[in-house]
């Protein structure tokens, strides 16, 4: 049930304080940055259009105005090719403009929120549940009603309680 007339893009530009993202998939390879992903797999340099993606401006503008954009990715090692790409190119690129990343590594611990979907949470009041197909292709977002908010706040809190900052995790497990 959609309860917002705003699109995901609108929310990413119009939130007031913070935008939180939970990522649960091992592969988003069909959802954007496809050319960059293929360049990564081929051992080529990052394409210029990837380095200057619109997301960089969105994050940079938000952070410069005092807002916070942060995410937790739930994953297990060994990393898929896509996760190696996302973490080594995407996360490190986005950190340069102020996005914060955390890793909840389930390699040697249980996932504390195994039923949590991918989602965005804006200002602790608006939830956008993300939908993907089995190959990581983005299908859309469903903005949920207030009756779902406490469940998604609990997902965020549980993920953040067990996640470690990406730079710390990357220093230990990155490539």
The predicted pLDDT at position 52 comes to 85
The model carries a pTM of 0.94
Residue 96, judged by CB atoms within 10 A of its CB (0-12, 13-18, 19+), counts as exposed
Sorted by where each starts, the structural domains of the chain and their CATH numbers stand as: 8-173 (3.30.870)
Q: Is 159 helix (H, G, I), strand (E, B) or coil?
A: helix
Q: What is the pLDDT along the chain (175 residues), one digit of tens a residue?
A: 444 578 999 999 999 999 999 999 999 988 888 899 999 999 999 999 998 889 999 999 999 999 999 999 999 999 999 999 999 999 999 999 999 999 999 999 999 999 999 999 999 999 999 999 988 899 999 999 999 999 999 999 999 999 999 999 999 998 7
Residue burial 45-55, b: 16+ Cβ < 10 Å; e: rest: eeeeebeebeb
pLDDT score for 32: 81
> DSSP characters for 90-119?
IIHHHHTTT-EEEEEE-SSS--S-TTPPPE
pLDDT for res 1 = 43
pLDDT at position 6: 87
Specify the pLDDT at position 89: 95
């Amino acid at each position: 049930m959609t309860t917002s007339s705003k699109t995901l893009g609108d929310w990413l530009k119009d939130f007031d304080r913070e935008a939180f993202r939970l990522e649960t998939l091992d592969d988003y390879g069909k959802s954007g940055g496809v050319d960059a992903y293929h360049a990564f797999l081929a051992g080529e340099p990052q394409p210029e259009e990837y380095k200057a993606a619109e997301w960089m401006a969105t994050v940079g503008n938000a952070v410069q105005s005092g807002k916070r954009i942060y995410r937790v990715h739930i994953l297990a090692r060994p990393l898929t090719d896509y996760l190696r790409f996302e973490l080594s190119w995407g996360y490190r690129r986005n950190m340069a403009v102020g996005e914060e990343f955390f890793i909840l590594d389930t390699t040697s611990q249980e996932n504390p929120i195994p039923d949590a979907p991918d989602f965005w949470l804006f200002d602790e009041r608006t939830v956008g549940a993300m939908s993907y197909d089995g190959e990581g292709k983005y299908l859309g977002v469903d903005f949920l009603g207030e009756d779902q908010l406490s469940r998604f706040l609990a997902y965020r809190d549980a993920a953040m309680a067990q996640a470690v900052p990406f730079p710390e995790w990357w220093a230990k497990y990155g490539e």
